[in-house]
């Protein structure tokens, strides 16, 4: 009798775990790789600030996160293809798929800068480039021909700028791995073209986002974590520009373009810097003045990523321009990024134990 009861209990436990796993996979947000982006760039920031233990620990953690989320996304596509297709066609969740390409590209940068494994980084580069191209044209074409358009203020949000982040992250990794490809000229030209296209894409999208900010009602609930990508997209654009300048000698056509590239890079960095006070004040207005606080969701990682990216971009800019007076910014900002990462990670663990998989449902990039 005892054996029978044990078998029944074990079967029920297996069924519950199976149902929880299926529910978690079914509800997996396309932007789930936000955590990979945030963890990866913080590892790079720790590495340049000579925090070797932190950099290595975050790197190996990030490998585990990326593998887990890639498997989960593949399983979701196999088990729930209709849900994936619906997300790809959606204004609210579709742009989140770019986090997969961006996350892989940032892990590739970790392989180059922290582990010094360019061969593995080239594999990541190919995967990121293919996924970027697939998502770029699938999502934007589907959104263009979609007949069910949302209201403007509901459809546009900072999450759309992940497309810019993915473009620039792949471009940056292209430059980093170009040295091991024989003739690096074509890869450097591809990186330059992607960098310029990413900047143009930012101009198109940020004009819409700023229009939404200024000419539509903006409630405290409207300020979502992905709006921090307004800054992060410019920071990664600045980082890629500085990487182009630092590797200009590897392609014959680049040295003559250095003044142009450096001018745009400074513009990108200045724009990212401009956003920081505005976004900080909006966060204070939301959380302290108006006392509006959201429960944890994975989209909070989209606010952590820009902090790490701004740290790395500013450090690289100071090095390339030889302006040491800028170095105090990354030396202090990295602790802001680490505090943001740690607090979000703790909130994630607390939410997981308190609410289980349902805590990850925050189903839209804009809610």
* pLDDT at 318 exceeding the cut of 60: yes
* pLDDT at 13 exceeding the cut of 50: no
Domain extent listing, the chain:
29-360
* pLDDT at 250 exceeding the cut of 80: yes
pLDDT for the residue numbered 99: 96
pLDDT for the residue numbered 365: 53
DSSP class per residue in 81-116:
HHHHHHHHT-TTTGGGGHHHHHHHHHHHHHHHHTS-
Write out the H or E segment, with its range, that includes residue 273. helix 258-284
pLDDT for the residue numbered 1: 52
pLDDT for the residue numbered 200: 97
Q: CA 125, CA 130: separation in Å to the nearest integer? A: 9
pLDDT for the residue numbered 362: 44
pLDDT for the residue numbered 34: 95
Whole-number mean pLDDT of the chain? 89
**Which of 86-90, 114-118, 204-208, 363-367 shows the lowest per-residue confidence on average (mean pLDDT)?**
363-367
Q: CA 88, CA 360: separation in Å to the nearest integer? A: 19
Tokens of 141: 């074409």
End-to-end alpha carbon distance in the chain: 51
% the chain with pLDDT above 70: 91
**Which of 134-143, 176-185, 200-209, 301-310 shows the lowest per-residue confidence on average (mean pLDDT)?**
176-185
Q: CA 94, CA 42: separation in Å to the nearest integer? A: 25
Backbone phi, psi, residue 365, to 5° = -70, -30
187-213 pLDDT, tens per residue?
999 999 999 999 999 999 999 999 999
CATH architecture of 29-360: Alpha/alpha barrel (1.50)
Tokens of 325: 């007076």
pLDDT for the residue numbered 146: 87
30-87 pLDDT, tens per residue?
999 999 999 999 999 999 999 999 999 999 999 999 999 999 999 999 999 999 999 9
pLDDT for the residue numbered 92: 85
């Amino acid at each position: 009798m005892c054996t029978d009861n044990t078998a029944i209990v074990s079967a029920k436990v297996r069924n519950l775990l199976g149902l929880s796993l299926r529910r978690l996979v079914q509800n997996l947000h396309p932007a789930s790789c936000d955590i990979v982006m945030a963890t990866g760039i913080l590892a790079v920031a720790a590495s340049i600030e000579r925090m070797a233990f932190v950099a290595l620990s975050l790197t190996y953690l990030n490998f585990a996160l990326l593998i887990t989320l890639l498997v989960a996304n593949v399983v979701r596509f196999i088990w729930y293809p209709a849900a994936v297709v619906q997300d790809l066609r959606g204004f609210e969740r579709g742009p989140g798929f770019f986090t997969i390409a961006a996350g892989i590209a940032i892990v590739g940068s970790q392989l180059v800068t922290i582990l010094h494994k360019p061969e593995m980084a080239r594999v990541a580069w190919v995967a990121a480039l293919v996924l970027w191209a697939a998502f770029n044209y699938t999502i934007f074409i589907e959104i263009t021909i979609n007949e069910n358009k949302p209201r403007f203020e509901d459809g546009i949000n900072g999450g759309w700028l992940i497309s810019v982040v993915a473009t620039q992250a792949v471009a940056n990794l292209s430059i980093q791995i170009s040295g091991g490809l024989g003739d690096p000229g074509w890869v450097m030209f591809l990186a330059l073209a992607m960098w310029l296209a990413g900047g143009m894409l930012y101009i198109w999208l940020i004009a819409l986002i700023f229009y939404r900010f200024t000419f539509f009602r903006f409630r405290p609930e409207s300020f979502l974590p992905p709006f921090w990508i307004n800054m992060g997209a410019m920071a990664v654009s600045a980082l890629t520009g500085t990487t182009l300048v630092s590797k200009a000698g590897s392609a014959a056509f680049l040295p003559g373009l250095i003044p142009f590239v450096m001018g745009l890079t400074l513009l990108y960095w200045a724009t990212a810097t401009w956003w920081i006070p505005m976004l900080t004040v909006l966060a204070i207005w939301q959380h302290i003045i108006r006392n509006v606080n959201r429960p944890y969701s994975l989209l909070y990682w989209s606010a952590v990523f820009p902090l790490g990216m701004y740290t790395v971009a500013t450090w690289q800019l100071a090095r390339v321009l030889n302006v040491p007076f800028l170095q105090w910014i990354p030396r202090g900002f990295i602790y802001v990024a680490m505090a943001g990462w740690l607090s979000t990670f703790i909130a994630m663990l607390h939410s997981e134990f308190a609410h289980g998989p349902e805590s990850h449902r925050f189903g839209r990039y804009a809610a």
